[in-house]
Amino acid sequence: MSISWSMLIGVLSIWLVVLALLLKPVAFIGKVLRCSCVLMFGFFVAVFLYLLIHEQVTFDTLHYYWMPQLDSFDSILATARTALLMAGGALGPGWGSIITLSSYNNFRRDAERLSIWVCLTHITIGLMGLLCCNVAHDHFEDHVGMMPLHVDEKHHMQFLYLCFSYLFGRFTTTPNLWAFLFFGMIFLSELCALIIQMMSVVTALFDEFETLRSRRILVISSLVFCLTAFSVYFCTQLGFSQLTQLPNLAVFTHLLISGILVLMTTWVYGRVRFQCDLQFMLGKTISSFKIFFIRFATPIFLGLCLFQLTYLFTRDRIHDVLIYVSQGLILLTAMSYMVYKVCRTNGDWRQRLQQCLAPHDWHPVDADNRRFYEEIMGISEMLVIDANANTT
**Residue 139, Cα to own-chain centre: how many angstroms?**
31
At residue 91, the pLDDT reads 64
SS3 123: helix
Please give the C-alpha separations between residue 40 and each of 30, 46, 193, 382, in angstroms, as whole numbers.
15, 10, 12, 42
**Is 16's pLDDT higher than 90?**
yes
- Average pLDDT of the segment spanning 159-187: 88
Closest CA to 305 of 141, 29, 132, 83: 83
Identity of the amino acid at 215:
R
Q: Is 353 exposed, middle or buried (0-12, 13-18, 19+ CB in 10 A)?
A: buried
Helix (H, G, I), strand (E, B) or coil at 166: helix
pLDDT tens-digit series, residues 324-370: 777 778 778 888 888 888 888 888 877 887 777 765 555 666 777 77
| List of long-range contacts for 293-300, beta carbons under 8 Å, 24+ apart | 294/262, 294/266, 295/262, 295/266, 295/267, 295/271, 298/258, 298/262, 299/259, 299/262, 299/263
Average pLDDT, the chain: 80
- 8 A C-beta contact, residue 48 and residue 128: yes
Please write down the HEC assignment for all residues of 202-253.
HHHHHHHCHHHHHHHHHHHHHHHHHHHHHHHHCCEHHHHHHHCCHHHHHHHH
Percent of the chain having pLDDT more than 70?
A: 84
Output the 3-class SS for 313-370.
HHHHCCCHHHHHHHHHHHHHHHHHHHHHHHHCCCCCHHHHHHHHHCCCCCCCCCHHHH
Q: What would the pLDDT profile of 265-277 be if each residue is shown by its tens digit?
A: 888 777 888 888 8
Contact indicator for 202, 220 with CB cutoff of 8 Å: yes
User: Of 139-143, 152-156, 219-223, which one has max mean pLDDT?
Assistant: 219-223
**d(Cα 246, Cα 303) in Å, to the nearest integer?**
20
Task: Please tell me the pTM assigned to this model.
Answer: 0.78
CB 202 within 8 A of CB 116: no
Q: Point out which residues pair with 3 in neighbouring strands.
A: 236
Query: What integer pLDDT is reported at residue 46 of this predicted model?
Result: 92
102: left (phi over 0), alpha (psi -120 to 50) or beta: alpha
Closest CA to 241 of 153, 328, 309: 153
Least confident of 130-134, 161-165, 251-255: 251-255
Greater confidence (220 vs 93) lies with 220
% of the chain residues with pLDDT over 90: 14
